[in-house]
């Protein structure tokens, strides 16, 4: 697979100003029914700080000024923020003075875990980079070092952080941080939370795909990108997903669709930000809703100031109204650990489309799988289904990353983003006639999405001509049911279209399930007894066929 790359290079950002970029637009959005008050809407304002960037002229001054301006913007609001220091910034007296004099009591000073030259050399490791900070994955990120070297790097950073600030950082963030480093930080230095990059394909050479979509998860002790299923198999440090991904378009459309304020059509647009936050606040989320705001200082203040200014003003208003809770990453981590011993199910539901093209989406995540359903063109389909297995060992668990890019994935059952070729990959609902021919299952109006309890999500889709198609998402299974306008079972099926990539990972198809092999791991999906059947088609597609009650129960638990 050779996905096209999107790049976030700060020197390629255009200073674009849009007419009508005003906070008043934020209040012009339609308001959905309120969510349950017991489900917090958590926002982290997370700004990480590098000392220099070889891609920018006069970078030390540009980056310092960006951080100083971020502090001056946020400080008057009283909102807490997390300021994560890369080691080269940590040891710079300018940042030490700035943080000690300007940050408020509610702010958090944290660690940003990219590896610059001063940290490597103080840990006794020969520097392999071309610059003091090098963005190549096997130089700038922890998997590029042996497990012993990873622990030495941690010890050096933590000792110097404590010498400067008098305590150890409570959280550590990175585009990607490995499980050996995380567990060592947790056991020896007591970190309470971490954060990593959103799901993306190829951006800056970093691919993270198939993971827990947004919110937060407890990682496997063998694989920091993989959610764990058991208490014994997990690191007790929740990893929050960064950057506020657009749940409809991020990863499925060219460009960057995130809350990052440097992107003028997304996080830099008052309309997009209003759409994003309105759905986050008012749509079902199960355990909690979450997003991470803020910006890395490498982009410079001019590129981020318009978007970040409108965002901070909006967050201040929403926090005052009780619609969101702005926390530091440490506060969010402590809250999560207090409420959840295992990764909880969460949902991301967006019932309208900022492009006004009538798309809708629902993400459901648990410690066993992630599911994404998309509505478009008068129908719906499952465009993403990945299983999680804590026993799948990371490719860099005890090995050094040898390439200048990194890629971590989970266990795909369906993957539109990476499996589409001449045909769009997806799992499509179809009606099945008595002679085996199929026709699309057409919808009539929007889906009705609701929380059945703290872990189960219901999606009820009215069908054209009457009838209802229902999806009930639970922690380790999904129940699908189709009935006509009289409540009688419909003869329907899921048609799994995955092309050559699906064929490559499928080992066997039996009447009761499908067995897969990917990334060195074996896993499976199973149908509950008497609740549907599987059938291999001649064109390598797979059909999941409903039973006489119009039901399919899909079990997603690779550990069993």
Task: Give the distance from CA 349 to its chain's centroid.
Answer: 14
pLDDT of residue 202: 86
Condensed to tens digits (0 to 9), the pLDDT of residues 85-107 reads 999 999 999 999 999 999 999 99
Condensed to tens digits (0 to 9), the pLDDT of residues 192-219 reads 999 999 999 988 888 999 999 999 999 9
Question: Positive or negative, the Cα torsion across 27, 28, 34, 39?
Answer: negative
The per-residue pLDDT of the chain, averaged, comes to 92
Q: CATH 3.20.20.510 occupies which residues in the chain?
A: 39-344
Q: What is the mean pLDDT of residues 432-436?
A: 88
Instruction: Indicate the CATH number for domain 39-344.
Output: 3.20.20.510
Residue 392 CA to residue 233 CA, distance in Å, equals 11
pLDDT at residue 77 greater than cutoff 70: yes
Judged by DSSP in three states, 375 sits in strand
pLDDT at residue 26 greater than cutoff 80: no
Residue 256 pLDDT grade (very low, low, confident, very high; cuts 50, 70, 90): confident
Residue 292 pLDDT grade (very low, low, confident, very high; cuts 50, 70, 90): very high
Which residues neighbour 205 within 8 Å (Cβ) at sequence distance 6 or greater? 5, 135, 136, 137, 404, 405, 406
Residue 542 CA to residue 506 CA, distance in Å, equals 10
Q: Which tokens hold the place of 402?
A: 């040898």
The residue ranges of DSSP E strands in 310-359, in sequence order, are: 325-327, 346-350
| Secondary structure element (H or E) that encloses residue 338, with its range | helix 329-339
Question: DSSP labels for 487-509?
Answer: SPBP-EEEEEE-HHHHHHHEEEE
Residue 410 CA to residue 521 CA, distance in Å, equals 10
pLDDT of residue 3: 35
Q: What is the mean pLDDT of residues 350-370?
A: 97
Condensed to tens digits (0 to 9), the pLDDT of residues 473-499 reads 999 999 999 999 999 999 999 999 999
Q: What's the pTM value of the predicted model, to 2 decimals?
A: 0.92
pLDDT of residue 205: 85
Residue 184 CA to residue 190 CA, distance in Å, equals 9
Q: What is the mean pLDDT of residues 401-422?
A: 94
pLDDT of residue 41: 97
The helix-helix angle for 270-282 and 301-320 (nearest 10°) equals 40
Residue 38 pLDDT grade (very low, low, confident, very high; cuts 50, 70, 90): low
pLDDT of residue 540: 82
pLDDT of residue 539: 78
- Residue in this structure with the two tokens 């550590």, named with its chain if needed: 172
Question: DSSP labels for 422-482?
Answer: SS--EEEEEEE-TTS-EEE--B-S--EEEESSSS-EEEEEEBTTS-EEEEEEETTEEEEEE
pLDDT at residue 234 greater than cutoff 60: yes
């Amino acid at each position: 697979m050779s996905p096209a790359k999107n790049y976030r290079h700060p020197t390629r950002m255009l200073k674009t100003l849009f007419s009508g970029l005003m906070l008043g637009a934020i209040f012009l959005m339609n308001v959905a029914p309120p969510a349950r008050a017991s489900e917090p809407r958590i926002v982290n304002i997370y700004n990480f700080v590098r000392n220099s960037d070889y891609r920018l002229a006069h970078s030390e001054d540009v980056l310092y000024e960006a951080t100083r301006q971020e502090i001056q913007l946020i400080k008057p609001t009283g909102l807490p923020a997390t300021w994560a220091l890369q080691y080269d910034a940590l040891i710079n007296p300018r940042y030490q003075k700035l943080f000690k004099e300007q940050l408020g009591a509610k702010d958090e000073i944290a660690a940003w875990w990219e590896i610059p030259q001063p940290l490597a050399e103080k840990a006794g490791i020969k520097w392999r980079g071309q610059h003091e900070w090098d963005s190549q994955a096997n130089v700038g990120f922890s998997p590029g070092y042996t497990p012993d070297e990873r622990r030495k790097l941690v010890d050096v950073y933590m000792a110097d952080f404590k010498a400067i600030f008098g305590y150890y950082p409570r959280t550590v963030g990175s585009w990607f941080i490995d499980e050996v480093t995380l567990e060592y930080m947790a056991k020896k230095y007591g970190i309470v939370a971490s954060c990593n990059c959103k799901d993306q394909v190829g951006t800056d050479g970093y691919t993270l795909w198939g993971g827990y979509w947004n919110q937060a998860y407890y990682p496997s002790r063998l694989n920091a990108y993989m959610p764990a299923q058991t208490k014994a198999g997990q690191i007790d440090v929740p990893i929050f997903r960064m950057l506020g991904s657009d749940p409809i378009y991020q990863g499925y459309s060219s460009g960057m669709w995130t809350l990052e304020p440097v992107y003028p059509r997304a996080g830099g647009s008052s309309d997009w930000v209003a759409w994003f936050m309105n759905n986050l606040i008012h749509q079902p989320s199960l355990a909690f809703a979450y997003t991470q705001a803020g910006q890395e200082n490498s982009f410079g203040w001019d590129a981020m100031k318009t978007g970040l200014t409108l965002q901070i003003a909006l967050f201040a208003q929403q926090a005052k109204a009780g619609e969101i809770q702005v926390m530091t990453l440490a506060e969010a981590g402590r809250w999560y650990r207090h409420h959840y011993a295992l990764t909880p199910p969460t949902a991301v539901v967006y019932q309208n489309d900022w492009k006004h093209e009538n798309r809708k989406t629902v993400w459901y995540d648990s410690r066993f799988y992630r599911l994404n359903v998309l509505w478009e063109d008068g129908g719906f389909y499952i465009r993403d289904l990945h299983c999680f297995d804590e026993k799948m060992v990371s490719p860099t668990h005890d090995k050094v990353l040898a390439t200048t890019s990194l890629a971590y994935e989970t266990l795909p059952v369906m993957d539109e983003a990476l499996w589409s070729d001449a045909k769009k990959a997806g799992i499509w609902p179809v009606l099945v006639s008595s002679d085996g021919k199929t026709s699309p299952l057409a919808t009539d109006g929007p889906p009705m999405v609701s929380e059945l309890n703290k872990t189960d999500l219901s999606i009820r889709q009215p069908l054209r001509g009457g009838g209802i198609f229902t999806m009930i998402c639970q922690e380790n299974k999904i129940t699908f049911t189709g009935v006509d306008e009289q409540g009688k079972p419909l003869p329907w099926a899921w048609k799994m279209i995955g092309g050559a990539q699906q064929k490559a990972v499928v080992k066997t198809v039996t009447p009761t399930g499908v067995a897969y092999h990917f990334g060195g791991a074996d896993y499976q999906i199973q149908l509950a007894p008497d609740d549907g059947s599987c059938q291999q088609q001649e064109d390598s597609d797979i059909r999941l066929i409903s039973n006489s009650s119009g039901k399919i129960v899909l079990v997603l638990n690779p550990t069993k």
